[in-house]
């Protein structure tokens, strides 16, 4: 028989143990609830602060575009940068009334296609991008609609502070911020370029170019004025450092504003300086004359008979400024004699003439940071007639950038230097170059180019004090299958100062018309040459080229004229 006292004690102990376990479980549950409350509350506070930090209408910092480095000119002026902008999107599962949303959104954003947006909302996806690159005003108006299911993503947007000023060099990006052309594409293809440059004061990485924004502005502005003055359909120009090969400015008009990338699709806005190939006309005579001088086949005192046209098969070569008499080498140059140039090239011979142009880089593509230039068009079967016509700039087409680059050794002492759009010292450029001409050939060419401005077809290119030298080029364009006397491509190839060359300037006008400002003429000496003069007068002070005093310049020019 069991003891009742012992049984009661056991029961009491069991009850106490049960109560202890119950109190433990209760405390544990309370602790769990408290912990959950703290965690949830903390998360709510975090979200609250996050909402305050990005209170611009539900803007979320979820960037789907690449952050690109700033692009600067040689003086640190900003050419391209990123800013953060809003992209509007919808989550269809949170949209209450799709028709209302479409109506309200297209009311604020009329360029959004209502039918396409409605179809996307009904497609069943959780993310429907509606419009990128909203303006702050558009973003505020959308936010004020208060429609459930709408939100914003923060994305990088590429902007170009100087607009179209340097568009063909800087290039542009697509809507996903990927480089499409110019330096923008070069950066994507060469990511190590960004790491090699110092960071800006704001901590952003940057890429510096050889361009000088001041020079670029002048070049573009004067080309635009020339287009308007001479009623030309297009224009182009370039400024090169003769020792470093740096491109200080490059413009091709019409151009485009990379802030409005759709403009770049217009075929008339191509970069004519590197993507267009042209028969450049008489500027090619600088290479022909340099060739016979460098090969030792002629001197400045040599004479070529230009008294009558050259007849070859069914072709006739004659002079526009015909003197109808024997001409010295300087006279061939300043009167721009096609007959004299053709005879010089024949004196070199087909093989030697072609090899000389190849040595200057005129028969193959030119490669720069903008990519490969358009391929030159050269004769498939290079024969005697080709040599004669190429001597005065017909029968062979090159890019203007390529022609300007080939001119560098003619004026810098004989060293071929590859052009670059990135900073490079004169010591680096000249040191990495290749000698392709004798130094005395370069010196002779400088005399001839200055003489042409003093007494020849380039008189209107003279910029007082800056000792400009150069050569005109007037090429008849092919219309249909024939050369047209009314459709001309004019150019002026200049260097300054000719007593100590620092820069090459090339100006090109496409189909300038006969107007009063050019004396009702359409040749290069009446339009491209004065345009070059205006450009040089304005950029020389920017580049630190001091004008010579009148007395000093007369002494220099007297030496040039003495060799004539």
Peptide bond into 497 cis (omega under 30): yes
Distance CA 537, CA 189 (A): 38
In this structure, what DSSP letter does residue 197 have?
S
Measured in whole angstroms, the distance separating CA 225 from the mean position of its chain's CA atoms is 20
Helix (H, G, I), strand (E, B) or coil at 177: coil
Element spanning 196, H or E: none
CB 59 within 8 A of CB 152: yes
Phi, psi of 306 (to 5 degrees): -120, 30
Distance of alpha carbon 518 from the chain centroid: 30
* Omega before 254 within 30 of 0, i.e. cis: yes
Alpha-carbon distance of 467 to 526, in angstroms, equals: 19
Pairing of strands 434-435, 469-479: unpaired
Beta strand 234-241 with 434-435: parallel, antiparallel or unpaired?
unpaired
Distances in Å between the Cα of 122 and the Cα atoms of 117, 128, 207 are: 9, 10, 45
Is there a contact between 321 and 296 (Cβ–Cβ < 8 Å)? no
User: How many residues make up the chain in this entry?
Assistant: 564
230 closest CA partner among 461, 533, 509, 536: 509
Instruction: Give the integer Cα–Cα distance in Å for 340 and 345.
Output: 9
Sign of CA dihedral 182, 184, 185, 187: positive
Considering Cα of 541, then 546, then 551, then 555, what sign does the dihedral take? negative
Instruction: Bin 49: left if φ > 0, else alpha if -120 < ψ < 50, else beta.
Output: alpha
Query: Degrees (nearest 5) of the Cα angle 241, 245, 248?
Result: 50
Residue whose entry in the numeric block shows the structure tokens 């008979």:
305
**326 phi and psi angles, rounded to 5 deg:** -60, 140
**CA angle, residues 551, 557, 560, in degrees to nearest 5:** 155
Positions marked active-site: 282
Measured CA to CA in angstroms, residue 225 lies from 197, 235, 399, 522 at distances of 36, 10, 23, 16
Task: For Cα atoms 417, 422, 424, give the angle at the middle one, nearest 5 degrees.
Answer: 55
């Amino acid at each position: 028989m069991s003891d009742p006292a012992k049984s009661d004690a056991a029961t009491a102990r069991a009850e106490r143990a049960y109560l202890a376990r119950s109190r433990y479980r209760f405390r544990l549950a309370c602790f769990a609830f408290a912990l959950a409350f703290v965690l949830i509350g903390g998360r709510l506070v975090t979200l609250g602060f996050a909402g305050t930090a990005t209170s611009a209408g539900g803007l979320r910092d979820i960037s789907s575009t690449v952050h690109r480095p700033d692009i600067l000119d040689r003086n640190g002026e900003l050419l391209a940068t990123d800013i953060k902008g809003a992209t509007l999107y919808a989550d269809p599962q949170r949209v209450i009334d799709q028709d209302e949303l479409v109506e309200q959104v297209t009311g604020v954003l009329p360029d959004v296609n209502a039918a396409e947006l409605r179809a996307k909302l009904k497609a069943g996806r959780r993310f429907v991008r509606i419009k990128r690159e909203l303006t702050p005003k558009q973003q505020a108006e959308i936010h004020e609609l208060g429609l459930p299911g709408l939100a914003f993503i923060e994305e990088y947007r590429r902007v170009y502070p100087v607009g179209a000023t340097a568009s063909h060099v800087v290039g542009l990006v697509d809507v996903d911020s990927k480089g499409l052309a110019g330096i923008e594409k070069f950066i994507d293809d060469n990511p190590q370029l960004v790491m090699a440059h110092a960071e800006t004061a704001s901590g952003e990485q940057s890429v510096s170019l050889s361009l000088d924004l001041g020079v670029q502005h002048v070049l573009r502005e004067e080309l635009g004025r020339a287009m308007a003055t001479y009623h030309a359909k297009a224009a182009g120009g370039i400024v090169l450092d003769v020792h470093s090969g740096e491109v200080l400015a490059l413009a091709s008009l019409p151009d485009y504003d990379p802030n409005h990338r759709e403009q770049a699709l217009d075929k008339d806005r191509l970069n004519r300086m590197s993507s267009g190939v042209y028969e450049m006309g008489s500027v090619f005579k600088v290479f022909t004359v340099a060739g016979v001088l460098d090969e030792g086949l002629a001197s400045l005192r040599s004479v070529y008979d230009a008294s009558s046209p050259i007849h070859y098969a069914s072709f006739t070569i004659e002079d526009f400024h015909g003197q109808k008499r024997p001409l010295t080498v300087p006279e061939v140059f300043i009167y721009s004699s096609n007959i004299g140039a053709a005879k010089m090239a024949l004196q070199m011979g087909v093989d030697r003439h072609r090899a000389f142009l190849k040595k200057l880089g005129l028969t193959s593509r030119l490669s720069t940071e903008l990519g490969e230039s358009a391929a030159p068009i050269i004769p498939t079967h290079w024969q005697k007639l080709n040599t004669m016509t190429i001597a005065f700039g017909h029968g062979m087409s090159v890019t203007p950038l390529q022609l300007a680059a080939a001119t560098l050794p003619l004026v810098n002492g004989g060293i071929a230097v590859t052009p670059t759009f990135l900073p490079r010292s004169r010591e680096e450029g000249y040191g990495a170059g290749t000698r392709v001409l004798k130094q005395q050939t370069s010196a002779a060419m400088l005399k001839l180019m200055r003489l042409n401005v003093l007494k020849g077809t380039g008189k209107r290119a003279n910029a007082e004090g800056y000792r400009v030298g150069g050569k005109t080029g007037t090429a008849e364009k092919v219309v249909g299958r024939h050369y047209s006397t009314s459709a001309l491509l004019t150019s002026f190839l200049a260097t300054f100062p000719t007593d100590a060359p620092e820069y090459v300037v090339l100006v090109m006008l496409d189909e300038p018309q006969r107007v009063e400002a050019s004396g009702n003429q359409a040749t290069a000496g009446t339009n491209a040459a004065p345009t070059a003069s205006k450009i040089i007068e304005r950029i020389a002070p920017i580049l630190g080229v001091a004008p010579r005093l009148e007395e000093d310049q007369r002494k220099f020019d007297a030496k040039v004229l003495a060799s004539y």
